[in-house]
A and B are shown apart, each in its own frame.
Chain A
Amino acid sequence: MTRHATKFEADVNTQALNIPAQSTKDAQPEAASGDMIVKLSDVRRSFGDTPAIDMVSLSVKRGEILGIIGRSGAGKSTLIRCLNGLERPDSGSIQVEGLEITSLDERRLQPVRRRIGMIFQHFNLLSAKTVEDNIALPLKIEGQSRAQRKKRVAELLELVGLSDKAKHYPAQLSGGQKQRVGIARALAAKPSLLLSDEATSALDPETTRSILALLKDINRQLGLTILLITHEMEVIRRVADRVIVLDRGRIVEEGPVWQVFANPAAETTKSLLQVLTPELPPTLRERLNPASGDDAVVKVQLSGEAARRPFLAELIGARLLHGGIDTVQGEPVGTLFLGIPAHDKAALEKAVQYLKSNADHVEVLGYVSGDA
């Protein structure tokens, strides 16, 4: 991850690209929407009787990476497609850069769409065009001259590290390379917002990491607002600043990523998080006795300040059985399984109380005897 990040930091030339950066905040006269680049209120879209998205209200801040997560069929694609008018809501209001787009016809949506880049799960590159012609298409649509396009395409190829593939056709590229072309194409017309619909779902973990690092870099260096939908918590963990959890078309949870990771409130969030949170190893779980034993097995979830404190030192005889601390958005978030001596009930109770006053969640799972 760090390796990729450094690589692309070197590649990103913000000035040459001249994409509206964070400074647009001051440079551009803002409508009533203020710092919000996208604002949805009570948006609903039904297919037949069942709503795909149901009374969704949300705002996207300029310069942030907002992750939207949910299971298959939760309505993520429908929601993101509403933002550039590919999908029409039945009711509700959608504002993009202060402009209400729900009332615009197809022709008047076109200039709005040119301000919004989009990347897709299956890349959607034109097979009949070379890499450079694919990237140049949004510029052609904008009416740029051949010379302008050529210059801009060269910058973008450099940005995504594919300068040597300009004359290749998409079929000659790997999945990761195709998505880089997709990203370059989405950025070509200097959009103010980038929509990503499962952009890494068709890629292997290593390639996913490098694509996410590239997106994060673009966000940091160019200040580009990114709205990213996924069904993988790992993607959210790596790049998003804020997360919205969607379930059956409704927003069930919303907040800064590290807080949602540390304290998931909705059931959907918890189950989506399950893949990332450590669980008690089966060998240990099988030996668990609900009533008594040498050691109590305690599950501790903690985050933020609490996770930075040397709290283990306060627990006499406690051992770390399993788990660890992860860093989300620079904040420590972790799940630990501790073994605490259980012979002295009072001492155990005290230890648990101590943990409870520091951690987000503490649970005595049971007891084990012998060597745990």
Chain B
Amino acid sequence: MSQAMLDLLWRSFWETITMTGFSGLISLVAGLPLALILILTDRGGLAENLWINRSLGAVINGFRSVPFIILLVALIPVTRFIVGTSLGTWASIVPLSIAATPYYARIAEVSLREVDRGLIEAARAMGATRWTIIREVLVPEAMPSLVAGFTVTLVTLVGASAMAGAIGAGGLGDLAIRYGYQRFETEIMVAVVAILIVLVSGVQWIGDRLVERLDHRIVKR
């Protein structure tokens, strides 16, 4: 493989990392609060408000039902407004984040819902405020599951970022399509797939180790 090709692979690798990393971070920061709002405002929740709950649920479902490739195109004006351009790696972070946020919100919602109600009740019985219950009970108790869900989101984003190549975002997926698929350069294709496998396995491995460390529900060794 030529030096130019290696450089191209290296650059594409970092583009994928950038897209996945930033949109992952944004989906975490935005998705977790949305999940908390869904849980708290649900029937029997700590701040029951069915109107907010149902509205937010509908918006999240709306975004989740639009195929990513359509979202990518439909969001071009929004992207241009936020980033200044609708093309390139940074521009792709906008649609990626907007797609990943509701995705992670639903995953995190499930994690938070699985927290034993008895624990929330115990905290209420201690006279804890809502905020204390969120900070000391809900989030820490759901943490292993929240991290596992975030790992799934990141892996999904690695895949989705390939599609962002359609708006010139670059990245490994884009490289594989342009060189491997359209120009039949099998070598590039194989290299990209190998890197993606390593990347996805690495993310999953780190996620799993983190979950293991955070989970104190089972006795270790």
Cβ-defined contact, B126 with A137, below 8 A: yes
Measured CB to CB, the nearest residue on chain A to B116 is A124
Specify which chain A residues have a CB less than 8 angstroms from the CB of B187 in the assembled complex. Answer: none
1/0 per position for B137-164, CB-CB distance to A under 8 A? 1001101000000000000000000000
Cβ-defined contact, B129 with A110, below 8 A: yes
In the complex, the number of residue pairs spanning A and B with C-beta atoms less than 8 Å apart equals 69
Measured CB to CB, the nearest residue on chain A to B143 is A128
Would you list which residues of chain A between 99 and 144 have a CB under 8 Å from chain B?
Answer: 107, 109-114, 116, 118, 120, 122, 124, 126-129, 137-138, 140-142
Cβ-defined contact, A86 with B125, below 8 A: yes
Query: Which size bracket describes the interface of B in this complex?
Result: 20 to 34
Specify which chain B residues have a CB less than 8 angstroms from the CB of A113 in the assembled complex. Answer: 124-127
Cβ-defined contact, A171 with B125, below 8 A: no
Q: A226 at the A/B interface (Cβ < 8 Å)?
A: no
Q: B128 at the A/B interface (Cβ < 8 Å)?
A: yes
Measured CB to CB, the nearest residue on chain A to B218 is A171
Cβ-defined contact, B121 with A171, below 8 A: no
Choose among B118, B127, B219 the residue that contacts A122 (Cβ–Cβ < 8 A).
B118
Q: A274 at the A/B interface (Cβ < 8 Å)?
A: no
Q: B123 at the A/B interface (Cβ < 8 Å)?
A: yes
Cβ-defined contact, B132 with A86, below 8 A: no
Would you list which residues of chain B between 60 and 88 have a CB under 8 Å from chain A?
Answer: none
1/0 per position for A144-178, CB-CB distance to B under 8 A? 00000000000000000000000001111000000
Specify which chain B residues have a CB less than 8 angstroms from the CB of A269 in the assembled complex. Answer: none
Known: A171-B216, A171-B217, A171-B218. Contact between A126 and B125, CB under 8 A?
Answer: no
Cβ-defined contact, A124 with B127, below 8 A: no
Specify which chain A residues have a CB less than 8 angstroms from the CB of B123 in the assembled complex. Answer: 137
Tell me how far the C-beta of A171 lies from the nearest C-beta in chain B, rounded to whole angstroms: 5
Tell me how far the C-beta of B194 lies from the nearest C-beta in chain A, rounded to whole angstroms: 38
Q: A301 at the A/B interface (Cβ < 8 Å)?
A: no
A142 to B128, CA, bound (A): 9
Q: A84 at the A/B interface (Cβ < 8 Å)?
A: yes
Specify which chain B residues have a CB less than 8 angstroms from the CB of A189 in the assembled complex. Answer: 126-127
A114 to B116, CA, bound (A): 21
Specify which chain B residues have a CB less than 8 angstroms from the CB of A107 in the assembled complex. Answer: 129
Cβ-defined contact, B124 with A120, below 8 A: no
A107 to B127, CA, bound (A): 9
Known: A171-B216, A171-B218. Contact between A124 and B124, CB under 8 A?
Answer: no
22 contacts between A and B (CB under 8 A): A84-B125, A109-B127, A110-B127, A113-B124, A113-B125, A114-B126, A118-B122, A118-B126, A122-B118, A124-B116, A126-B140, A127-B141, A128-B216, A129-B136, A129-B140, A140-B136, A141-B126, A141-B129, A141-B132, A170-B216, A185-B126, A195-B125
Residues on B lying within 8 angstroms of A by beta carbon are: 116, 118-119, 121-129, 132, 136-137, 140-141, 143, 214, 216-219
Starting from the known contacts A126-B140, A137-B128, 11 additional A-B residue pairs (CB-CB under 8 Å) come to: A86-B121, A107-B129, A110-B127, A110-B129, A113-B124, A116-B125, A126-B136, A138-B126, A140-B136, A141-B127, A141-B132
What are the nearest 7 A-B pairs in CB distance?
A113-B127, A114-B127, A124-B122, A169-B216, A128-B140, A110-B127, A118-B125
